[in-house]
Structure 1
Amino acid sequence: MKFLMLVVVDPSLESTEEGPVSIEQWVDETYGAGKAVEGDRLRPPADAKTIRRRNGSIHVTDGPFAETHEWIAGFDVLECDSLEEAIELASRHPMATGGIIELRPAWPLDL
């Protein structure tokens, strides 16, 4: 099963708690085991563009699509045998302690 793991930053959170592992250890564990197959950081919301097509016109606006303090800082694509395994991997990511991890199962078009 494929999962998209969104790494979300919330500047209003002030956690001094350390995660169970460092980001380097998490990457070594998940990518080393073949459980994470792709990932990267994302540019900040100020660099984002939102695109909408309405009545034949294309509208491009600056920034994220929603008014929120939180913003997506990165992503990883996980390949796991179950949702439980994906949750376990995501819970070990350092940003699960200092931010938010959003985990979404892929929904293949052919299903």
Structure 2
Amino acid sequence: MTQYLLSIYQPSDSAPPDNLDEIMSELDKLNAEMRAAGAWVFAAGLHAPSTATVLRAKGSEVLMTDGPFAEAKEQIGGFTVIEAADLDEALDWGGRMATIIGLPIEVRPIQDR
């Protein structure tokens, strides 16, 4: 089985939706279903992009800057790692997640070590 990263993209300047409790309840149900199917590995939400610190190596020095690496209309707001037999199965889980949260989900295979 291959592991896939399901990245949740959200608008950088958005407030939580009014029905956040309902969305989280449905997402909890989907996570439970993924666990029961043996697909769920790990999931986490992230704090706002403004809390990020970017580290860049310049020769022997490491420069630190506040905020996200790139200015963008959307930032990663959370992620889930799953195991799936193939891309089609991963896309199915990601599509169901997108339907629940109403935000774009990027599905990307994780490289084998």
The normalised TM-score by structure 1 is: 0.82
Any stretches of 5+ residues in structure 1 without a counterpart? none
Residue in structure 2 matched with residue 62 of structure 1 by the alignment: 66
The CA deviation at 1:97 is 5.6
Establish whether residue 53 from structure 1 lines up as the match of residue 54 from structure 2. Answer: no
Establish whether residue 7 from structure 1 lines up as the match of residue 8 from structure 2. Answer: yes
The CA deviation at 1:24 is 2.0
Identical amino acids, percent of aligned pairs: 30
User: Runs in 1 of length 4+ with deviation above 4 angstroms?
Assistant: 94-97
Which has more helix, going by share of residues? 2
Rate the CA distance shift 1:95–1:8 in 2: closer, same or farther, 3 A.
farther
The CA deviation at 1:94 is 4.2
Name the CA distance, whole Å, in 2 between partners of 1:97 and 1:39. 14
The number of equivalent residue pairs is: 104
The normalised TM-score by structure 2 is: 0.80
Name the CA distance, whole Å, in 1 between partners of 2:55 and 2:86. 34
Any stretches of 5+ residues in structure 2 without a counterpart? 18-22
